Each structure stands twice: as C-alpha cells, then as structure tokens.
C-alpha cells in the first residue's frame, strides 16, 4: 500500500533530486510549436501539446520581460518569474498572476486581450506590475504558430 494521502515525504525522498534546481524554460523547437498549435486550432491538442505551448510562451515572456517581481502561474504546467523590480526569495511573491493554459495561450497569441480576460474572470492578478498588457501578445499579428518574441 502507498503512503497515506496528504502525508508529506521526508526531504530528499521525492521523485526529484534533492537540491536540484529545475532548468530554466527555453522556447521550444519551431516545428514542434507549429504542430502543437495546429492541433490546438483543430481541437485535437493533447495535454503534451498544451504543456509544450504553455512552457514555450512562458519562456518567450521571460525573454521579453526578465526579472522576478511577478510570478506567472499556469497550473499544472509551469510558473515563471518575470518583470524587473523587486524580487523575492521565499514565500508568496509580491505580485502573482494565475490562469488556465487556454487563457495563457489566448493571451500569448493575441487571440485574447488582457482586458477581456479580466472582464470575463479568466485570470487572477494581484500586486504591483501584475498587468501583463505591455508584454502581450508574444507573437506578431497573433499568429499562434509563430515563435518570434518581438
């Protein structure tokens, strides 16, 4: 029988290596982004496609707005710290933005605007600098398959 639900493991016994910092996100291969984007447009996207696209566009956001003042969370896929200014080392960051994968992909590609997402309750944003409008969309012209960050 496995461990009881909710009971924490001892430090260093999880599936990750103790003390190992996760790798920094990097933009995905353009051909993989194009293929995953095509499947997303035809409603045939898999969870792996969503993970690839979410991480790809979060990596582009990190490149466009480096820093640590705002934490952008797209559960369960990833979270990044962006925007210059104050940084935090532990605990809850001073500014947090959280949304679904679908909302993030819409914002990143220009198919959804920040005011629309706020109005429709598609994201939670708190703290200074949590409005990502100056940094979105991440692709020119809102072309979902593009990988350019500017």
pLDDT digits (tens, 9 = 90+) for 44-99: 999 999 999 999 999 999 999 998 899 999 999 999 999 988 766 677 778 999 99
Whether 5 is in a domain gets the answer: no
Whether 36 is in a domain gets the answer: yes
CATH number for position 101? 3.30.1050.40
What pLDDT does 5 receive? Answer: 36
pLDDT band at 22 (very low <50, low <70, confident <90, very high): low
Question: What burial letters (b/e) apply to 30-64, b meaning 16+ CB within 10 Å?
Answer: eeebeebbebbeeeebeeebbbbbbbbbbbbbbeb
Whether 8 is in a domain gets the answer: no
The H or E element containing residue 109 is: helix 101-109
The H or E element containing residue 116 is: helix 114-119
The C-alpha atoms of residue 33 and residue 147 are separated, in whole angstroms, by 8
Q: Sign of dihedral through CA atoms 132, 135, 140, 145?
A: negative
27-37: average pLDDT: 95
Whether 148 is in a domain gets the answer: no
Q: Are 75 and 55 in contact (CB under 8 A)?
A: no
Whether 22 is in a domain gets the answer: no
- Name the 3-class secondary structure at 73: strand
Q: Nearest-CA neighbor of 111 among 144, 76, 71, 85?
A: 144
Whether 4 is in a domain gets the answer: no
Burial (CB count within 10 angstroms: exposed 0-12, middle 13-18, buried 19+), residue 142: middle
Whether 52 is in a domain gets the answer: yes
Position with higher pLDDT, 8 vs 124? 124
pLDDT band at 140 (very low <50, low <70, confident <90, very high): confident
What pLDDT does 97 receive? Answer: 96
- Give me the domain span that covers residue 38: 30-142
Q: Look at the chain and report how many structural domains it folds into.
A: 1
């Amino acid at each position: 029988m496995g461990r009881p639900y909710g009971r924490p493991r001892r430090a260093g016994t999880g599936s990750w290596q103790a003390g190992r910092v996760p790798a920094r996100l990097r933009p995905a291969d353009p051909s993989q982004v194009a293929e995953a984007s095509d499947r997303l447009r035809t409603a045939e996207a898999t969870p792996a496609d969503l993970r690839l696209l979410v991480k790809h566009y979060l990596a582009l956001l990190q490149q466009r707005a480096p820093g640590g003042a705002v934490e952008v969370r797209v559960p369960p896929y990833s979270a990044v710290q962006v925007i210059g200014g104050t940084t935090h080392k532990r605990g809850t960051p001073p500014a947090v933005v959280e949304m679904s994968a679908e909302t993030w992909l819409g914002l990143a590609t220009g198919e959804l605007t920040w005011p629309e997402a706020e109005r429709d309750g598609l994201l939670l944003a708190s703290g200074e600098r949590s409005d990502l409008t100056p940094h979105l969309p991440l692709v020119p012209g809102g072309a979902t398959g593009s990988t350019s960050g500017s």
